[in-house]
């Protein structure tokens, strides 16, 4: 299927380690979003790209979080010096363009556990 | 600021009975509303959306939702529940300025045989 894919599906990191989470959006989708979903909570917005441009990063919780999408397709979310509070599922979503009419299609997520 | 609320943490229904999962919203402009479903260890799957037009929106897997502007509600409904409908359901509103989705806390639907 040509859905949104994310890797790895599961990541265990020791506190202080850096991690990189990858998202492959649906081919041709211009918009890409990252969300963080804590246990028992709804997803919360982290950042948004339109093609390679990061248009909104207001949801990134600290300067340890960094996201990029250099060629306007694959995106990477990087977390430096991980902390226990970073443990969550990180969801990537893509849509055809930034429009209220278009639903976002979500990947399966990466479950990050920081020990 | 945009927000949605899902007042019920869990909804229990018997298979074959109608189900309703509640959602209320608060927006400053036109509401663009969505319902998603999440199965264990999987991402969110789109069910339906309200953009404009008919207040009754039909979506995937027999689900529908009723938009009520005066009550600022967007409840998810299904005439006859299936055990396989058991999952976590999220209501969301699109932020007018950024395009991001703002989600409710989620409602666990449990359908008993």
Task: Give the per-residue pLDDT at A84.
Answer: 97
Closest-CA residue to B108 (of B92, B90, B93, B83): B90
Nearest to B103 among A42, A99, A107 (CB): A42
CA separation for the pair A52, A50 (Å, rounded):
6
Q: In this structure, what token pair is assigned to residue B43?
A: 């991402």
Task: Give the per-residue pLDDT at A99.
Answer: 59
CA separation for the pair A63, A70 (Å, rounded):
19
pLDDT at residue A69 is higher than 80: yes
Interface test with A, best of B27, B44, B52, B59 (most A CBs within 10 A): B44
Task: Give the per-residue pLDDT at B40.
Answer: 84
- Assign A100 a pLDDT band (cuts: 50, 70, 90): low
B61: left (phi over 0), alpha (psi -120 to 50) or beta: left
Three-state secondary structure of A56-72: ECCCCCCCCEEEECCCC
- In terms of pLDDT, which residue wins out, B42 or A49? A49
What is the average per-residue pLDDT within A32-59? Answer: 95
What is the average per-residue pLDDT within A78-107? Answer: 90
B53: left (phi over 0), alpha (psi -120 to 50) or beta: left
CA separation for the pair B63, B47 (Å, rounded):
7
CA separation for the pair B41, B44 (Å, rounded):
10
What is the average per-residue pLDDT within A45-65? Answer: 95
pLDDT at residue A98 is higher than 70: no
Q: In this structure, what token pair is assigned to residue B104?
A: 């409710």
Termini Cα distance of chain B = 41
Cα–chain-centroid distance for residue A36? 7
Residues of chain B contacting A, Cβ within 8 Å: 30, 32, 34, 36, 41-46, 49, 51, 90, 92, 94-96, 98-106
Task: Give the per-residue pLDDT at B2.
Answer: 87
Contacts B43 to A, Cβ<8 Å: 4, 91, 106-109
**Cβ(A52)–Cβ(A72) below 8 Å:** yes
- Which positions of chain B have pLDDT values less than 70? none
- Mean pLDDT for chain A? 94
**Lowest-confidence segment of A21-30, A89-98, B80-89 by average pLDDT:** A89-98
């Amino acid at each position: 299927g040509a859905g949104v894919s994310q890797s790895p599906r599961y990541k265990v990191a020791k506190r202080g380690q850096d991690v990189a989470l990858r998202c492959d959006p649906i081919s041709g989708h211009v918009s890409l979003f990252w969300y963080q979903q804590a246990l028992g909570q709804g997803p919360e917005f982290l950042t948004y790209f339109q093609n390679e441009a990061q248009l909104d990063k207001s949801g990134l919780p600290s300067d340890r979080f960094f996201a990029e999408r250099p060629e306007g397709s694959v995106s990477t979310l990087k977390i430096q010096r991980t902390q226990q509070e970073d443990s969550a599922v990180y969801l990537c979503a893509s849509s055809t363009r930034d429009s209220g009419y278009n639903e976002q299609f979500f990947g399966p997520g990466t479950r990050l556990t920081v020990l | 600021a945009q927000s949605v609320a899902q007042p019920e943490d869990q909804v229990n229904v018997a298979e074959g009975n109608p189900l309703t999962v509640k959602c209320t919203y608060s927006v400053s402009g036109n509401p663009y509303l969505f319902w998603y479903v999440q199965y264990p260890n999987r991402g969110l799957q789109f069910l339906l959306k309200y953009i404009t037009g008919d207040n009754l929106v039909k979506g995937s897997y027999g689900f529908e939702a009723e938009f009520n502007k005066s009550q600022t509600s967007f409840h998810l409904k299904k005439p006859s529940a299936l055990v396989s409908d058991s999952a976590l359901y999220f209501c969301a509103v699109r932020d007018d300025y950024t395009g991001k989705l703002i989600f409710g806390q989620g409602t666990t639907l449990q359908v008993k045989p």
